[in-house]
Structure 1
Amino acid sequence: MKTILAGAALSMCANFSAATAQQTAPADPAQTEAGWRLIAPENLMLIETGKGTVVIELNPSFAPNHAERMRELAASGEYEGEHFYRVIEGFVAQGGLFDDMQILRWGPLKNENDRPYGGEGFVPLGNADLFAPEVGHIGGFPVGRDEALGQEWLLHCPGAVALARNNDPDSGGTEIYIVLDAQRYLDRNLTVFGRVIDGMEHVQAFKRGDRAIQNGVIQAPETGEEIRKLTIASDLPEDERPVWRTMTSDGQPFADHKTALRVREGDFFYRKPPEVLDICGFTTPAEPVVAAATAD
């Protein structure tokens, strides 16, 4: 049976393009300035659609088997020609394999909804959260934690990429969804394994389904946005790989970024907002690394 998100009402940077890909090149990590890190090519996933390319960073630290499944799906070519077949305004864009027999061949994955508390590099947000005792960032990803529970997990913030499933927590296997607006009540119920670092404007432009009809599945003869290609950067020739970097969670650039969002002191604010951040109200900056031009 096709995987549909379970539950009530369920089941930044420059535009990435082929031209951008040709302008990027492998970068020397030593040349990456303090407070930034290069994204490993095996964790850089590209979804090509008619609206544009969606660039995703996988997170094998929290969800190693889910990251590996996406690498396998990309290598198989089975995503090509499939669609984002269930897109609900203000909720998620869900896509992937649509044929039940095809889905069964891949089989389900055991959920990786959380992991033991205490992951290295956690940087607290600095203010309270409604859903988790602690929130902050690890490696640029928004994270919730509970010391008493002994667990930490990735959050369903906008741009989070996760695996859809049926009622069984271990029933997901092939269909992904991208969060369009924060869905924090799903935290620890489904496995988040990545985040969109570029191209959310393309995802937001996907055709919507009617939530009142088959829970948002787009009805034939219409189709959702086509997945033209699913690629992992490490599978491309080295001189053709896009290279991206992102701010580290524990660096000064990210600290300054959060302060600029938290402390609004410009002349426009004649009534000063409280110095509070919503963990899902901003993203960790990421950008392509562009190769320097060389003279002939």
Structure 2
Amino acid sequence: MRKISAVSSTFALLMATPAIAQDTQTAEYPSPNAIVEAAPPSDWVTIAPSDLLVMDLAPDAQGNPRRVIIQLMPEPFSQGWIRNIRKLAAARWWDGTSINRVQDNYVVQWGDASEKKALPEGLETVPESEYLSKLTPIDSESSNIYNSDPVSDATEAYRDDLYGKSLFGLGWPLGSGNNSLWPIHCYGAVGVGRNYSPDTGSGAELYTVIGHAPRHLDRNIAVVGRIVEGIEHLSSLPRGKGQLGFYEDASKRVPITSLRLGDALAEDAPPAFEYLDTNSAIFAKYADARANRRDPFFIKPAGGADICNIPVPVRRVTGE
């Protein structure tokens, strides 16, 4: 398992940098995008096709195809729901279902609008305890860094926010506290719809965030992935007029024609993506640049950034 790095926080990131940030008149600094573009191949981590969900929607009004690609969370996070999602995809359960809810500045949700479609056999009932991943503190005097495998020796400070401490690990933004880690709700995060507790959802009803990060959902709903390509096909949909943004008119629902795991597509070559290693020096430099913009457009560096404003770079890999 790759290392979890304490390279950033929600409000403070590389807090030694403000003094450097004041010297913007005497030096030029690359933009975050330029830093990412200069990252060596060794700092990029391949996403296995089996960890991708490929959702094809019905073509738009102009006949253009609409494909949304989701990366599933790595172990140890949300694995009970993800096992269910893999079974649902293998059973082609989502084929013929639809996008049913589009709530402005909040979420887009999809699944079976009738709530009558039979689920595949063998789905797990996942306990609420699985919203958290219990991990062992590496140091009783430094109990704000956790990992189940060798941990990074990064020493950058990070602080509390309203939702716990924040860091990046295994390529994902995470919250931490009380010897636990959990994935958080940033823009493009994919979660599992559910009813009232103790129901935790099967994974058949999914949503993605299309607005300001709803961090109050962290540890209350399972985050199972993030959209790495095609979110514009969801975020641009007409808003639902019913309660919570559900479509009252069934004709407004967008049909899902296919949803498959990347390695199960009929195509000759499955989609290929990679993300920037969040434990790399380049990522630390990129995160600092996002928190302290010193490139020419900016007048005053902020001195920090919300963790959801430091999206982990993900890129499509094209064949030679």
Both structures adopt the same fold (TM-score exceeding 0.5)? yes
Give the direction of change, closer, same or farther, for the CA distance of 1:243–1:266 in structure 2 (3 Å limit): closer
Q: Pairwise mapping of residues 225-244 of structure 1 onto structure 2 (< 5 A)?
A: 225-236=254-265, 239-244=268-273
Cα drift, residue 35 of structure 1:
1.4
Q: Give the Cα–Cα distance (whole angstroms) in 2 for the partners of residues 126 and 79 of structure 1.
A: 44
Q: Give the Cα–Cα distance (whole angstroms) in 2 for the partners of residues 194 and 158 of structure 1.
A: 11
Asked if 2 retains the 8 angstrom alpha-carbon contact of 1:125 and 1:135, the reply is: no
Q: Give the Cα–Cα distance (whole angstroms) in 1 for the partners of residues 292 and 45 of structure 2.
A: 26
Please name the residue that 1:29 is paired with. none
Q: Give the Cα–Cα distance (whole angstroms) in 1 for the partners of residues 199 and 250 of structure 2.
A: 32
Please name the residue that 1:279 is paired with. 307
Q: Give the Cα–Cα distance (whole angstroms) in 2 for the partners of residues 269 and 251 of structure 1.
A: 26
Cα drift, residue 126 of structure 1:
5.2
When the two structures are superposed, what TM-score results if normalisation uses the length of structure 2? 0.73
1:1-28: CA deviation from partner (whole Å, max 9, x where unpaired): xxxxxxxxxxxxxxxxxxxxxxxxxxxx
Please name the residue that 1:184 is paired with. 215
Cα drift, residue 104 of structure 1:
5.8
Report percent identity of matched pairs.
29
SS at match of 1:265: coil
**1:57 and 2:57 are equivalent in the alignment:** no
What is the root-mean-square deviation of aligned Cα atoms in Å?
2.3
Give the direction of change, closer, same or farther, for the CA distance of 1:228–1:132 in structure 2 (3 Å limit): same
Asked if 1 retains the 8 angstrom alpha-carbon contact of 2:163 and 2:216, the reply is: no
When the two structures are superposed, what TM-score results if normalisation uses the length of structure 1? 0.79
**1:70 and 2:78 are equivalent in the alignment:** no
Q: Give the Cα–Cα distance (whole angstroms) in 2 for the partners of residues 170 and 180 of structure 1.
A: 24
Give the direction of change, closer, same or farther, for the CA distance of 1:115–1:124 in structure 2 (3 Å limit): farther
Q: Give the Cα–Cα distance (whole angstroms) in 2 for the partners of residues 125 and 47 of structure 1.
A: 39
Q: Give the Cα–Cα distance (whole angstroms) in 2 for the partners of residues 125 and 53 of structure 1.
A: 39
Give the direction of change, closer, same or farther, for the CA distance of 1:125–1:44 in structure 2 (3 Å limit): farther
Q: How many residues align?
A: 256
1:203-260: CA deviation from partner (whole Å, max 9, x where unpaired): 21122112xx333210124332221210111213684211111111101232222122
Structure 1 residue ranges without an equivalent (≥5) = 1-31
Q: Pairwise mapping of residues 226-265 of structure 1 onto structure 2 (< 5 A)?
A: 226-236=255-265, 239-265=268-294
Cα drift, residue 201 of structure 1:
1.7
Q: Give the Cα–Cα distance (whole angstroms) in 2 for the partners of residues 218 and 60 of structure 1.
A: 33
Give the counterpart of 2:168 among 137, 144, 163.
Answer: 137
1:132-180: CA deviation from partner (whole Å, max 9, x where unpaired): 331011122110000xx22110001111111000002334111001011
